[in-house]
Structure 1
Amino acid sequence: MQREPLLEQLDWFFTSQYWISVYPNTVVLPLAKKGSDHVPCVVHIGTDIPKAKIFRFENYWVDLPGFKECVTQSWERGSAKAYSSAVIADKLKGLRHELKKWHLSLARLKGLIQNCNKVIVILDTLEEERPLYREEFNFRQIVKLHLEDFLLAECNYWKKRCTIRWIKQGEDNTRFFHAMATERYKRNNIAVLHDGDGNEVTDHHAMAALLWAEYKNRMGRSEGISMQFNLHSLIKRVDGLEELTAPFLEKEMDDVVKEMPIDRAPGPDGFNGLFLKKCWHIIKKDFYKLAEDFHNGTIRLQNINGSYITLVPKKQIAIKDS
Structure 2
Amino acid sequence: MRIKILSWNVRGLNDSRKRSTIKSLLMKWKADIVCLQETKIEDWGTWDGQWVLGGDLNVCRFDYEKFNCHRRTRAMENFSETILDLGLMDLPLRGAQYTWSRGTGLLQASRIDRFLISSEWNDTFKTIKQVALPRAEGFLDSVKNWWSSYEVEGNPDFVLVQKLKYLKKDISTWNKEVFGKLEEQRSQALNDLTNLEQSSEGRILSEAENAQMINLQTHLEQLAKIEEVSWRQKSRCLWLKDGDRNTKYFQSVANANRRYNCIDKLKIAEHVIEDKREIKEEILSYYQHLYTENEPWRPLARFENLARISEAESTWLEREFEEEEIFSVIKSCALDKAPGPDGFTMAFFQHAWEIIKYEIIKALRHYHQHCHMVKSVNATFISLIPKKKRAIELRDYRPISLISSIYKITSKLLANRLKTVIGKLVSGSQNAFVRGSEISDATLIANEALDWKIKSGEPGLLVKLDIEKAFDKVSWSYLLTILRQMGFGERWIRWMKFSITTVKYSILVNRSPVGFFPPQRGIRQGDPISPFLFILAMEGLSKMIQQASSLHWIEPFKIGRDPTSQANVSHLLYADDTLIFCGAERSQVMQLNLTLFIF
Aligned amino acid, residue 276 of structure 1: F
Cα distance change of structure 1 residues 61 and 280 upon mapping to structure 2, 3 Å threshold: farther
Instruction: Please give the alpha-carbon distance, in whole angstroms, between the structure 2 residues aligned to 1:248 and 1:202.
Output: 49
5+ residue gaps, structure 2 = 1-132, 396-599
5+ residue gaps, structure 1 = 1-59
- 1:153-191 Cα shifts (integer Å, max 9, x gaps): 101111222333442797422112212221221111122
Task: Quote the residue 2:151 is aligned against.
Answer: 78
**Higher share in strand:** 2
Matches within 5 A, 1:1-322: 63-65=136-138, 68-70=141-143, 72-74=145-147, 76-80=149-153, 82-106=154-178, 108-167=181-240, 171-196=244-269, 198-203=271-276, 205-220=277-292, 228=300, 238=310, 240-241=312-313, 242-300=315-373, 302-322=375-395
Q: Tell me the CA shift for residue 235 of structure 1.
A: 6.5
Q: What's the TM-score, normalizing by structure 2?
A: 0.39
Aligned amino acid, residue 303 of structure 1: S
- 1:189-217 Cα shifts (integer Å, max 9, x gaps): 122224456152232x3322221112112
Cα distance change of structure 1 residues 206 and 64 upon mapping to structure 2, 3 Å threshold: farther
Q: After the TM superposition, which of the residue ranges 226-235 and 163-172 deviates more from structure 2?
A: 226-235
Task: Quote the residue 1:14 is aligned against.
Answer: none
Percent identity over the alignment?
23
Contact 1:116–1:143 (Cα < 8 Å) also in 2: yes
Instruction: Please give the alpha-carbon distance, in whole angstroms, between the structure 1 residues aligned to 2:355 and 2:271.
Output: 54
Instruction: Please give the alpha-carbon distance, in whole angstroms, between the structure 2 residues aligned to 1:172 and 1:223.
Output: 52
What is the alpha-carbon root mean square deviation over aligned residues? 3.3
Cα distance change of structure 1 residues 315 and 165 upon mapping to structure 2, 3 Å threshold: same
The secondary structure found in structure 1 opposite 2:321 is coil
Instruction: Please give the alpha-carbon distance, in whole angstroms, between the structure 2 residues aligned to 1:307 and 1:173.
Output: 32
Q: Tell me the CA shift for residue 230 of structure 1.
A: 7.8
Q: What's the TM-score, normalizing by structure 1?
A: 0.69
Q: Tell me the CA shift for residue 137 of structure 1.
A: 0.4
Q: Tell me the CA shift for residue 311 of structure 1.
A: 1.1
Larger RCO, structures 1/2 (Cα 8 Å, 6+ apart):
1
Cα distance change of structure 1 residues 230 and 79 upon mapping to structure 2, 3 Å threshold: farther
Contact 2:156–2:366 (Cα < 8 Å) also in 1: yes
The secondary structure found in structure 2 opposite 1:248 is coil
Contact 2:231–2:254 (Cα < 8 Å) also in 1: yes
Instruction: Please give the alpha-carbon distance, in whole angstroms, between the structure 1 residues aligned to 2:272 and 2:241.
Output: 47
Q: Tell me the CA shift for residue 64 of structure 1.
A: 3.6
Task: Quote the residue 2:62 is aligned against.
Answer: none
Contact 1:85–1:303 (Cα < 8 Å) also in 2: no
- 1:29-77 Cα shifts (integer Å, max 9, x gaps): xxxxxxxxxxxxxxxxxxxxxxxxxxxxxxx996244553255324641
Instruction: Please give the alpha-carbon distance, in whole angstroms, between the structure 1 residues aligned to 2:156 and 2:294.
Output: 26
Instruction: Please give the alpha-carbon distance, in whole angstroms, between the structure 1 residues aligned to 2:188 and 2:307.
Output: 70
Instruction: Please give the alpha-carbon distance, in whole angstroms, between the structure 2 residues aligned to 1:159 and 1:270.
Output: 16
Q: Tell me the CA shift for residue 135 of structure 1.
A: 0.4
